[in-house]
Amino acid sequence: MVFLTRRERFNAAHRLFKPEWTDTKNFEVFGKCSNPNWHGHNYELFITIKGEPNLETGFVINLKQLSRIVRNRIIEQADHKNLNLEVPFMKGKIPTSENIAIAVWDEIEEDIVNLNCKLHCVKVVETENNSVEYYGN
Amino acid sequence: MVFLTRRERFNAAHRLFKPEWTDTKNFEVFGKCSNPNWHGHNYELFITIKGEPNLETGFVINLKQLSRIVRNRIIEQADHKNLNLEVPFMKGKIPTSENIAIAVWDEIEEDIVNLNCKLHCVKVVETENNSVEYYGN
Amino acid sequence: MVFLTRRERFNAAHRLFKPEWTDTKNFEVFGKCSNPNWHGHNYELFITIKGEPNLETGFVINLKQLSRIVRNRIIEQADHKNLNLEVPFMKGKIPTSENIAIAVWDEIEEDIVNLNCKLHCVKVVETENNSVEYYGN
Amino acid sequence: MVFLTRRERFNAAHRLFKPEWTDTKNFEVFGKCSNPNWHGHNYELFITIKGEPNLETGFVINLKQLSRIVRNRIIEQADHKNLNLEVPFMKGKIPTSENIAIAVWDEIEEDIVNLNCKLHCVKVVETENNSVEYYGN
Amino acid sequence: MVFLTRRERFNAAHRLFKPEWTDTKNFEVFGKCSNPNWHGHNYELFITIKGEPNLETGFVINLKQLSRIVRNRIIEQADHKNLNLEVPFMKGKIPTSENIAIAVWDEIEEDIVNLNCKLHCVKVVETENNSVEYYGN
Amino acid sequence: MVFLTRRERFNAAHRLFKPEWTDTKNFEVFGKCSNPNWHGHNYELFITIKGEPNLETGFVINLKQLSRIVRNRIIEQADHKNLNLEVPFMKGKIPTSENIAIAVWDEIEEDIVNLNCKLHCVKVVETENNSVEYYGN
């Protein structure tokens, strides 16, 4: 088994808040991340695939194909967008890094499987100090 | 002369657009950066001071004092904020990296001078691929 | 299960040596790291927590709480300190990266558990070329 | 168990192609990586060892010994070399990152075992966007 | 005056040698960089433009236009190529970082001027330890 | 004119304090950096040379020669050492980054001149947030 990781990036606005909660409660839980006027990040995604290298090509997965999946399914939806308002795969979810990682997994897993590969990990880096990894359930 | 640089960071939302222009014109000039729902970045600031090191302390400037100025004047105003809507020093300005660099310079220069130092450069890093430097006029 | 990682940093002096050994033996085993006059590093800690994201907040752990634990228990004890002489959690231990990782784990695990989370990994980066990970025993 | 990672680097030329295939087929599968005139990379290796820290030294492995193994077995063979033409441990293999990771593992594992340590992972970073990890079979 | 910097990257093979010299002389001067079988690097280019921000847009230069120039003139010629054999702008030049920086400058300057901007600096990063800057003559 | 930069690294302990001052005064000015038990850093040096590339070699300076100078004069003196106690070129100086940059300049300038090159800049990076540049006087 070899694990191959591809990095892709997107820049997006978001806000952490629950519409059912008061502003005070939102601020108490989410702090300055609940600012109603939004803030944003340069997000990095690290998508890890596992598999046996193909005996003919030496590839676990063709990186062009993997990159195309991540760009079509994720980057084109999320780059220069508002994660709360207009990104289909985040609809109805609080855009924490945890929820982004799970949503990215759910969005790309089928396409990865269709290439006879296994999705191993989705890592979301929100800042140089904070990141999240999801390995499926 | 020695040049000392301090890095500080803030995360913010923004949108590049001119209210006088149509959406089409805005999109033509600013592309996806003009998205009405905002997007955002992890901004890095590199503030460079020049001066002779103090003979007693070996410091061009006390980093604690420099950091306090940048945090009070810039980071507290801009971190987890919307650069178009609620950051006083960006009011009425299109929040390009160029305009952020100039506005940061104007905001902190007097405080630096009051410490008997010279502000040399404000560098704004918007993404790993794009940055701007301003040296005053 | 989602894994969340927080980075914190501290700068410290240390020396690798065993008091029971001669200087020659210490130098033979630890090389220039055994210098009696100390040397030092910019240490990076990566603390990884695992858990199910809270259904209400989307958080595995509130990063403010995690950061507070690491700062109170580790950074305040170790930052700008001598790891051999004055850091309580390193007392009696040779300050290799391996031993620092284990000691940090032991120091913070209970506080993490008290937040109903599981500590998954403590990573210590000593230089850009050398790092250590500990996953508990 | 503690995991210790050492980074080493080498710069090399390579080309992805199968001699049995036509140029057209090679280009179809490997794209611009199949350029007959070669291209190259700054490769980073991250070698991870696992073991119990020695009670006397606090070391899982002496980093000088680990570094010597990686430099003798890998860096001296591959640095400033052509991975297709003149690197013994890549002979007959298409130099994908996957195959490099496996070949590095096979090349150093015995020396690691002879130090009473276990090789845990070989990570090959080809570019800031692409990397591979191999954990043995 | 504001200075704007765009990073672009390319991966290439090269060899430092003078055809007029013997292999021994080449090795004496260029060391392992003269390997006849080539080696390679992940090159980073940092292209810096200077100018007054446009009063309407807040841009010194439209980054899309700058990126297009660098990609058309440089990246498409040099990426996944051999700098000695097949890159037009390096023809007849020893591909040291110094010569690459000068050649990139000469290749893109006119296009920058045609956008009413001034090219300020071309920086070539060959490895994390070695880089070169050229500011024109 | 081309500017060539070489990075070298060293790890050292230090303390900021003036022996003539009381502990209270030292702590007031230098804060936790005045800890009598020392602390330390991973220092990065960026040494920049300027000159015309040699017409024969395409080199401003042979990097092997530049690296040898910096290693002999600086790294061997300072790596894994205490900057206050045992580094000849820092004797009698408070080891601020400013003073380190000036001292490194004075230590290597003559050797650079002897290679018919000009020393342009010495940059000292103490942490990811703090750095200093010196261009001579």
Of D9, D11, D128, the CB nearest to E40: D11
Assigned token pair, F28: 């007031």
- Residue E137 with chain F: CB contacts under 8 Å: 1
DSSP for B16-50 reads: ---TTS-HHHHHHHHGGGG-TT-EEEEEEEEEEEE
- Residue E100 with chain D: CB contacts under 8 Å: none
Cβ distance of B127 and A37 shorter than 8 Å: no
How confident is the model at residue F137, as a pLDDT?
A: 86
Strand (E) or helix (H) holding E12: strand E2-14
Q: What is d(CA D135, CA C112) in angstroms, rounded to the nearest whole number?
A: 30
Of A31, A96, A135, the CB nearest to C1: A135
Cβ distance of A128 and C2 shorter than 8 Å: no
Strand (E) or helix (H) holding A5: strand A2-14
Q: Which residue of E has its CA nearest to F65?
A: E29
In one-letter notation, the amino acid at residue C131 is S
Neighbours of C55 (CB within 10 A): 7
Cβ distance of E57 and B132 shorter than 8 Å: no
- Residue E81 with chain D: CB contacts under 8 Å: 35, 37, 39
Are 3 or more Cβ–Cβ pairs between E and A shorter than 8 Å? no
How confident is the model at residue A137, as a pLDDT?
A: 86
Q: Which residue of D has its CA nearest to C20?
A: D56
| Interface with C, mutate which of D49, D56, D57 (most C CBs under 10 A) | D57
Q: Identify the contact set of chain F against chain E, taking CB-CB distances under 8 A.
A: 1-8, 48, 53, 56-60, 62-64
* Angle ∠(E102,E106,E109) on CA atoms, nearest 5: 125
| Interface with A, mutate which of C1, C4, C9, C133 (most A CBs under 10 A) | C4
Q: What is d(CA C129, CA D3) in angstroms, rounded to the nearest whole number?
A: 14
- Catalytic residue, chosen from C33, C44, C120, C133, is C33
Cβ distance of B129 and E2 shorter than 8 Å: no
Cβ distance of E40 and D41 shorter than 8 Å: yes
Q: What ipTM was predicted for this assembly? A: 0.96
Q: Which residue of E has its CA nearest to B128?
A: E7
Neighbours of E92 (CB within 10 A): 5
pLDDT > 90? residue B136? yes
Assigned token pair, A114: 């269709």
Residues 6+ apart with CB under 8 A from B111: B69, B73
Assigned token pair, B48: 């460079």
Cβ distance of C14 and F40 shorter than 8 Å: yes
Of E31, E98, E135, the CB nearest to F53: E98
Answer for the pair E134, E125: CB distance below 8 angstroms, yes or no: no
Q: Which residue of B has its CA nearest to F94?
A: B58
Beta strands in D2-129 (DSSP E): 2-14, 39-51, 81-82, 118-127
pLDDT > 90? residue B123? yes
Cβ distance of D128 and E38 shorter than 8 Å: no
Q: Which residues of chain E have pLDDT under 50?
A: none
Beta strands in chain B (DSSP E): 2-14, 39-51, 81-82, 118-127, 130-134
Q: What is d(CA E100, CA E81) in angstroms, rounded to the nearest whole number?
A: 14
Assigned token pair, B27: 């999109």
Answer for the pair E14, E39: CB distance below 8 angstroms, yes or no: yes
Provide the residue-wise pLDDT of chain F in tens; the chain has 137 residues.
Answer: 999 999 999 999 999 999 999 999 999 999 999 999 999 999 999 999 999 999 999 999 999 999 999 999 999 999 999 999 999 999 999 999 999 999 999 999 999 999 999 999 999 999 999 999 999 98
Instruction: From B31, B29, B18, B33, select the one nearest B94 (Cα to Cα).
Output: B18
pLDDT > 90? residue B137? no
Q: Which residue of D has its CA nearest to A57?
A: D94
Could you tell me the CA-to-CA distances from C14 to B81, C38, C87 in Å, in that order? Answer: 41, 6, 11
Residue F93 DSSP class: S
Tell me whether residue C33 is one of the annotated catalytic residues.
yes
- Residue C4 with chain A: CB contacts under 8 Å: 97-98, 130-133
What is the pLDDT of chain A when averaged over all its residues? 97
Q: Identify the contact set of chain E against chain B, taking CB-CB distances under 8 A.
A: 1-8, 53, 56-60, 62-64
Q: What is d(CA C98, CA B7) in angstroms, rounded to the nearest whole number?
A: 30
Q: Identify the contact set of chain B against chain F, taking CB-CB distances under 8 A.
A: 1-8, 53, 56-60, 62-64
State the nearest Cα–Cα gap between E77 and chain D, in angstroms. 12
In one-letter notation, the amino acid at residue E115 is L
State the nearest Cα–Cα gap between F81 and chain E, in angstroms. 22
Assigned token pair, D34: 């199949």
In one-letter notation, the amino acid at residue C36 is P
- Residue E60 with chain B: CB contacts under 8 Å: 98, 132
Q: Which residue of F has its CA nearest to C126?
A: F42
Q: Which residue of D has its CA nearest to A63?
A: D130
A43 φ/ψ angles, rounded to the nearest 5 degrees: -85, 140
Q: Identify the contact set of chain C against chain F, taking CB-CB distances under 8 A.
A: 9, 11-14, 32-33, 35, 37-42, 79-82, 85-86, 127-128
Answer for the pair B43, B11: CB distance below 8 angstroms, yes or no: yes
How confident is the model at residue F88, as a pLDDT?
A: 98
pLDDT > 90? residue D137? no
Q: Which residue of E has its CA nearest to D85?
A: E37
- Residue F132 with chain B: CB contacts under 8 Å: 2-5, 60
What domains does chain D contain, in order, with CATH numbers?
2-134 (3.30.479.10)
The residue-averaged pLDDT of B94-105 equals 98
Assigned token pair, C12: 């410290």
Helix ranges, C71-121 (H): 76-78, 97-114
Per-residue model confidence as pLDDT tens digits over A5-32: 999 999 999 999 999 999 999 999 999 9
Tell me whether residue B126 is one of the annotated catalytic residues.
yes
Which class for D137: exposed (0-12), middle (13-18), buried (19 or more C-beta within 10 A)? exposed
Per-residue model confidence as pLDDT tens digits over C65-77: 999 999 999 999 9
How confident is the model at residue C137, as a pLDDT?
A: 86
The residue-averaged pLDDT of B93-121 equals 97
Cβ distance of D57 and C99 shorter than 8 Å: no
State the nearest Cα–Cα gap between B23 and chain F, in angstroms. 40
Strand partners, E81: E12
State the nearest Cα–Cα gap between F22 and chain B, in angstroms. 14
Could you tell me the CA-to-CA distances from D25 to A68, A84, B137, D31 in Å, in that order? Answer: 20, 45, 57, 9
- Residue F88 with chain C: CB contacts under 8 Å: none
Answer for the pair A135, A120: CB distance below 8 angstroms, yes or no: yes
The residue-averaged pLDDT of D50-55 equals 95
Beta-strand pair D39-51/C130-134? unpaired
Residue with tokens 């079988």: E37
How confident is the model at residue B135, as a pLDDT?
A: 98
Instruction: From A116, F8, B24, C22, select the one nearest E128 (Cα to Cα).
Output: F8
How confident is the model at residue C78, as a pLDDT?
A: 98
State the nearest Cα–Cα gap between A3 and chain D, in angstroms. 5
- HSE value, Cβ hemisphere, 13 Å, CA-based, for C10: 25
Assigned token pair, F13: 């302990």
- Catalytic residue, chosen from A28, A80, A86, A110, is A80
Per-residue model confidence as pLDDT tens digits over E16-40: 999 999 999 999 999 999 999 999 9
Instruction: From E107, E111, E67, E68, select the one nearest E87 (Cα to Cα).
Output: E107
Could you tell me the CA-to-CA distances from C117 to B58, C58, C59, C61, D116 in Å, in that order? Answer: 46, 14, 11, 7, 35
Q: What three-state secondary structure class fits B11?
A: strand
